[in-house]
A and B are shown apart, each in its own frame.
Chain A
Amino acid sequence: MGVRFRPASDQSLLIYFGQRITLEAHRRVVKLLRLLESEPIEGIRNLHPAYCSLLVKFDALSLGHEELESSLRSYLDRLEDVRLADPRQVEIPVCYGGEFGPDLKDVAALHGMTPDQVIDLYASTTYVVYFLGFVPGFAYLGGLPEALATPRLPAPRKKVPAGSIGIAGNQTGVYPFSTPGGWRLIGRTPLGMFRPDRKNMSLLSIGDRVRFPPVSEARFAALERACE
């Protein structure tokens, strides 16, 4: 598969592993990320992985695009030798519907399903964390069943509570913070997705496999108390 380099700015370089969202491209992004984390290149200041690309920000006073590209090519040559650890399996308990998932009924109706069928299908699926982006701790998840793909709300909500599980098109994810948002909300988790007081600040990291088992309101409340 061809790799393409493209300057994004005078202090950043994009590396594209194709132009499609595939697990193969994802694995190559993770491998390059791991290699750059374990053997940092002097002058690199930040790394932004995405579906099939990695943005590398560098100190433009000490490094140029051509020089960085040639260093990265030698890393790419070694990509096949990088062994990725088995993905972590993470369970995120979710209380579906009701006040926590105000759009569950609409999502079900749009697909001619009952709310319970939506919950069963959503909760029986394993999702892949393609990358974290947008805001701290937000995981871009792959694997939403086609039957659950739902357009965004016509008008975004001014405030979506932290922990809300949403669907937008064929994307799904958890809001780490209370922000405005237009995703259809089907449930909420009591777990903190991003907490600076935790060793692993972000609950999820790139490459994780995630499931969203349903819990009752009582269990949600108990977990919420335990998280505080």
Chain B
Amino acid sequence: MRVIQVEASGLFTTVQDLGREGFGAMGVSPSGAADPISLRLGNRLAGNAENTAALEMTLLGGRFVFPQGGILALAGSDFGATLDGAPVELWTSFEARPGQTLRLGPTRSGARCYLCVQGGIVVTPFLGSASTHILSGLGGLDGRPLRKGDVLNIGPAGGGYRQRTIAPQLLDRLSPRKVLRVTAGPQSDSFAESSRDAFYAGTYRVTEESNRMGLRLEGTPVQAPAGGQMITEGTSLGAIQVPAGGNPIIIFVEHQTTGGYPKIANVIAADLPSVGQLRPRDEIRFEQVGLQDARYLLREQETLLASKRLIRE
């Protein structure tokens, strides 16, 4: 069996696919890639199905050896990758010969880079998905981030090596946004109009205490209604909740399935992958759109992802 030897893990590297949907009643959130567009495209470049398990690296990449070689693709943010010292392109498939080392460094753009390998990373699935869920220590590789010395199994390779790359003009239209489009949250009417105005006019900075569970923001504080407390209810991915302190939190992929903070807005589905590329200290703003617009934008994005012109062979 082909393997990947982890010589350095990077800052926080986990196994992720597109997550496990459908277990909310057990308290299990979907998890999955923080930037699913990059994972899907990376997998297609490597010759995989979109939902194949890959490595999600955060801010600083690792060093990986391929003793039996492998067909690879990097997608997402630019971590300055080299293969045995020679630079390799992002968004383009390439082949590692047996014994070669792929080295990644600190990010030069957004928060996350995906390493996709033809055949995928093989781990024991949890509720039908390979995705790591850190808080519960389940899924992925023993439910934890990678460590130096780990050896990952690669699944049976499929179609062999073909050079594939993404059409740059189309890729531009999928690039991460710093102005996130949102729809009204379930409690938006409970916020004072002045609080809503402040929220939409304000610029927010992503703080260091941000992770796959949620992104904590600081900026113009938002006055929460009812002292920031309410009856606990289900939370949706991308919900922007406002606790008593007034600093909003974007609920993210490993979110608590239920919560008791009022939610002023919710990031639209089409912009959720952009959240996965936000780094600490990035500055963002929010722009409200209607549900119809949100649906149109998601459809447009999916049409682009399905376009035959997107990937060139």
Residues on A lying within 8 angstroms of B by beta carbon are: 6-12, 14, 19-21, 33, 45-55, 57, 60-61, 64-65, 131-138, 140, 176-177, 179, 194, 196, 201-202, 205-206
Contacts and interface: CB of A to CB of B under 8 A. Distances in A.
B256 interface: yes
Given A132-B26, A196-B138, A48 B266 contact: no
Interface in B116-139: 126-127, 133, 135-138
Given A20-B231, A136-B26, 4 more contacts: A7-B291, A8-B186, A132-B257, A176-B136
B294 A135 contact: no
B302 interface: yes
Given A9-B268, A61-B302, A133-B234, A48 B26 contact: no
B25 interface: yes
A206 to B, nearest CB: 6
B258 A9 contact: no
Contacts of A19: 231
Contacts of B236: 8-9, 11-12, 55, 57
A202 B302 CA distance: 36
Interface residues on B, range: 35 or more
A194 B28 CA distance: 10
Given A9-B239, A60-B294, A202-B26, A48 B234 contact: yes
Contact of A10 (B24, B183, B233, B256): B183
A7 B295 contact: no
A38 to B, nearest CB: 13
Contact of B26 (A10, A12, A64, A201): A201
A135 B135 contact: yes
B186 to A, nearest CB: 5
Contacts of B223: none
A196 B124 CA distance: 11
Contacts of A50: 231-234, 258
B299 interface: yes
Contact of B269 (A60, A133, A136): A60
Nearest to A52: B231
Contacts of B13: none
- Tell which of B232, B235, B237, B268 has the most Cβ of chain A within 10 Å: B232
A51 B233 contact: yes
Nearest to B30: A46
Given A9-B239, A140-B232, A202-B27, A135 B136 contact: yes
- Tell which of B30, B186, B239, B295 has the most Cβ of chain A within 10 Å: B186
